[in-house]
Amino acid sequence: MMSGSARLGDRVALVTGAGSRIGAGVVHRFVGEGARVVAVERDGERLERVVEPLGDRAVAVRGDVTDPGDCRRAVEVAVDRFGRLDVVVSNAGVHDQYVALTDLTTDQLDRAYEEVFAVNVKGALLMVHAAIHELIRNRGSIVFTGSISKEPDQVARRLPTGVAPEPADVCGIYAMLASDSDGSAVTGSVITVDAGQLLWGPVNHHPTGP
């Protein structure tokens, strides 16, 4: 399972939103590079499918990042199972599906706001808050995912290559940032991994012209 370089061989990572797409890809990439991983996800079935092939290099924790108790429990599992925690990849998130403000009722807007900010913002902070002492102790790192992804065919039409990247195509960036040797000089940075989408400018999702 591990690659020849095993550049994450001394690292223990916790990955949220680990049940699909980027989160699942990061879990597999980290294990492939030698890390031991705690995978956190609300959907137990999806989580088991991700973790089961990885043997004792990964452990599944079914939990919700909006629950402080679940966040603390995930960190405790990392320390109890692997003896330390070096990396938190805050990847859990929900998407608003580009629904226009004018298409929402007041109640729908209220629910959407609460869900998006509870998971994407508060959930990320809660997990970091639960892990911060372990990360300080081990001079660890935190990687946040900020995604604007849509369905792959829509993405492909907006890219110079005409091909939408798969999760495996972006997970190397996470491995670099989690590496003590390769990522130690990167801090407080935003790394754009969009296959050139920004070269074509902003997307007009709701055109008003003819």
Q: The domain spanning residue 153 has which CATH number? A: 3.40.50.720
Judge whether 125 lies within some domain.
Answer: yes
User: Is the Cβ–Cβ distance between 29 and 171 less than 8 Å?
Assistant: yes
Judge whether 209 lies within some domain.
Answer: no
CA atoms lying within 13 Å on the CB side of residue 148: 12
Q: For residues 120 and 97, which has the higher predicted lDDT (pLDDT)?
A: 120
Residue type, 92: A
Judge whether 185 lies within some domain.
Answer: yes
> What string of H, E and C letters represents the secondary structure of 7-33?
CCCCCEEEEECCCCHHHHHHHHHHHHC
Judge whether 6 lies within some domain.
Answer: no
DSSP helix/strand/coil, 37: strand
pTM score, whole prediction: 0.88
Judge whether 89 lies within some domain.
Answer: yes
% of the chain surpassing 90 pLDDT = 65
Q: Is 144 left (phi over 0), alpha (psi -120 to 50) or beta?
A: beta
Range of 154's domain? 12-200
Judge whether 44 lies within some domain.
Answer: yes
**Those residues with Cβ within 8 angstroms of residue 26's Cβ, 6 or more apart along the chain or in another chain:** 15, 18, 89, 91, 167, 171, 174
Q: Which tens digits make up the pLDDT trace of 113-133?
A: 999 999 999 999 999 999 999
Q: Which tens digits make up the pLDDT trace of 174-185?
A: 999 999 889 888
Q: Which tens digits make up the pLDDT trace of 164-175?
A: 788 888 999 999
Q: What is the pLDDT of residue 197?
A: 74
Residue type, 84: R
Judge whether 127 lies within some domain.
Answer: yes
Judge whether 207 lies within some domain.
Answer: no
CA distances from 57 to 32, 54, 154, 188, 197 (A): 9, 6, 36, 29, 35
DSSP 165: P
> What is the band of 2 on the pLDDT scale with cuts at 50, 70, 90?
low
| Total tally of structural domains belonging to the chain | 1
